[in-house]
């Protein structure tokens, strides 16, 4: 029984400690609630005041160099957020001048200091600042931030790099893109696609001498996503490449604006080992080449891949009467019935796509 009593004492002590800890936790929570509420309100108030300060200055058309932010409003994160919000909607010249002045005076000192900080939120402040107003002076910091381990910081730094478009920055950016997993490419690729003419000229120059397959894939991927831009003369080697995904991208570039003259060039790809490529070409033939592709599409309708046959059937439907008549003719074949039915009932919206 003595053992039981000791056990009981231990249990009571532990339970008492637990209850005390719970009590401490409650007190902590109450204090944190009060403190965080205060902080949030203060932050929101500062943001509002900064915004009204900016608009007052813009309305008065005051000299931007004379703009001074009161000390109590110098919360850099709030300042940055306000500038980002206004920058999305206002593109007027006086705002751009005011923005430049504010960034240079208040944000640059902190951003340059924090660009290589160990804390990601600080690096984030730097990256966001450089994305708003990139300068040659900060090339080193942007270079560092482009390879940041936090995707969000990389995105902001990539924007700055694309805006500056110096060869060193572009080189690092593309090196990073090669290292990214394919699914994460969206982070940077879409930013590059929206880049200026300088970026595209640099990419063309690089594509001419680049031999690394992965790097070529990145370039071709971007060119294939860019509307109204073609680089046929640079993709001859890629069209003959043994690497499927490289060939696929090259074909995508080739079929961006196909004409009747391209038919001999596209025709061999209907026999490509990759069904994706055959399907792309079957789709493109119906899309833009027109009736001259009728014979090729007839052949593609016999393809071993269901997906290619489906695309060929839709393309034949696009050709108009000649294609529809042929589909009705082959539709008697039970193997073709499903595909033909689908192609004939496909909606106009899908045909346009």
Partner 1 sequence: MEYFKIFLVYASYVIFGYFLFVQSFYILLMFTAFPCLTRRMREVNSDNLLSVLRSESSPEFSFIVAAYNMEQLIVLVIDNLLALHYKKKKIVIVNDGSEDNTFEILLKRYKLVKTGLPRRPQLKCSKIRGYYRSSIYPNLIVVDKENGGKADAMNAGLNVTTTPYYLQIDADTVVGDDAILRIIRSSLTKPHVIACGGSIGIGNQCIFERHKLKKVMFPTNFWAGAQVVEYIRAFLFGRLGWNSYGGNLCLSGAFGFYDRDIAVSVGGYDLAVAEDLDMTIRIHRALREKGKPYKITFLPDAMAFTEVPSDLVSLLRQRERWQRGVNIVVWRNRNILFNSKYGFLGLMSFPILALTEAISPLIEAPGYIIFAIAAGLGIVDWTYVFWYLALALLFPMVLSSICIMMEILSVQVYNPKTAYLKMLGYVVIESLGVRQMLVFVRFYSFFLFIFGIESWTNVKRKGIQSE
- Interface residues toward partner 1, by CB under 8 A: 7-8, 11-12, 14-15, 18-19, 21-22, 25-26, 28-30, 32-33, 36, 39-40, 43, 77-78, 80-81, 84-85, 88, 120-121, 128, 149-152, 155-156, 159, 183-184, 186-188, 190-191, 193-194, 306-307, 310, 342, 345-347, 349-350
From the CB of 237, what's the least distance to partner 1, in Å?
27
From the CB of 124, what's the least distance to partner 1, in Å?
8
DSSP 189: H
Q: Which long-range contacts (CB under 8 A, 24 or more apart) does 258-266 make?
A: 258/284, 258/285, 258/287, 258/288, 258/289, 259/288, 259/289, 260/289, 260/290, 260/292, 262/289, 263/289, 263/292, 263/293, 263/296, 266/296
Count of CB atoms situated within 10 Å of the CB of 278? 24
From the CB of 295, what's the least distance to partner 1, in Å?
24
If the CB atoms of residues 235 and 282 are measured against partner 1, the closer one turns out to be 282
Contact between residue 274 and residue 301 where contact means Cβ atoms under 8 Å apart: no
If the CB atoms of residues 88 and 242 are measured against partner 1, the closer one turns out to be 88
Contact between residue 315 and residue 288 where contact means Cβ atoms under 8 Å apart: no
If the CB atoms of residues 122 and 232 are measured against partner 1, the closer one turns out to be 122
From the CB of 175, what's the least distance to partner 1, in Å?
18
Distance CA 279, CA 315 (A): 10
If the CB atoms of residues 36 and 237 are measured against partner 1, the closer one turns out to be 36
If the CB atoms of residues 95 and 235 are measured against partner 1, the closer one turns out to be 95
What length does the chain have?
353
From the CB of 276, what's the least distance to partner 1, in Å?
8
If the CB atoms of residues 99 and 235 are measured against partner 1, the closer one turns out to be 99
CB burial of residue 211 (10 Å; 0-12, 13-18, 19+): exposed
From the CB of 111, what's the least distance to partner 1, in Å?
15
């Amino acid at each position: 029984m003595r053992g039981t009593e000791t056990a009981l004492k231990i249990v009571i002590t532990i339970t008492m400690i637990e209850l005390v800890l719970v009590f401490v936790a409650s007190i902590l929570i109450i204090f944190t609630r009060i403190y965080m509420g205060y902080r949030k309100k203060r932050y929101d108030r500062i943001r509002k005041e900064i915004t009204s300060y900016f608009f007052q200055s813009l309305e008065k058309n005051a000299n931007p160099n004379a703009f001074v932010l009161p000390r109590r409003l110098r919360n850099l994160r709030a300042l940055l957020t306000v500038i980002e919000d206004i920058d999305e909607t206002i593109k007027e010249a006086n705002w751009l001048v005011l923005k430049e002045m504010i960034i240079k005076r208040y944000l640059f000192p902190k951003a340059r200091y924090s660009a290589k900080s160990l804390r990601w939120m600080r690096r984030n402040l730097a990256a966001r600042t450089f994305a708003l107003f990139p300068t040659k002076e900060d090339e080193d910091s942007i270079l560092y931030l482009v390879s940041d381990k936090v995707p969000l910081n990389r995105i902001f730094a990539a924007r700055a790099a694309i805006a500056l478009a110096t060869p060193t920055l572009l080189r690092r950016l593309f090196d990073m893109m090669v290292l990214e997993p394919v699914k994460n490419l969206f982070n940077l690729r879409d930013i590059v696609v929206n880049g200026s003419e300088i970026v595209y000229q640099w990419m063309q120059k690089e594509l001419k001498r680049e031999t690394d397959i992965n790097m070529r894939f990145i370039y071709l991927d971007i060119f294939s996503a860019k509307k109204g831009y073609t680089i046929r003369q640079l993709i001859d080697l890629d069209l003959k490449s043994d690497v499927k995904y490289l060939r696929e991208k090259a074909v995508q570039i080739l079929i961006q604006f196909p004409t009747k003259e391209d038919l001999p060039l596209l025709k061999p790809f209907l026999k490509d080992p990759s069904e994706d490529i055959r399907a792309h070409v079957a789709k493109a033939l119906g899309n833009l080449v027109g009736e001259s592709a009728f014979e090729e599409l007839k052949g593609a309708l016999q393809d071993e891949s269901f997906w290619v046959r489906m695309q060929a059937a839709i393309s034949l439907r696009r050709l108009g009467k000649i294609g529809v008549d042929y589909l009705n003719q082959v539709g008697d074949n039970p193997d073709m019935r499903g595909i033909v039915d689908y192609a004939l009932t496909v909606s106009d919206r899908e045909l346009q796509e």
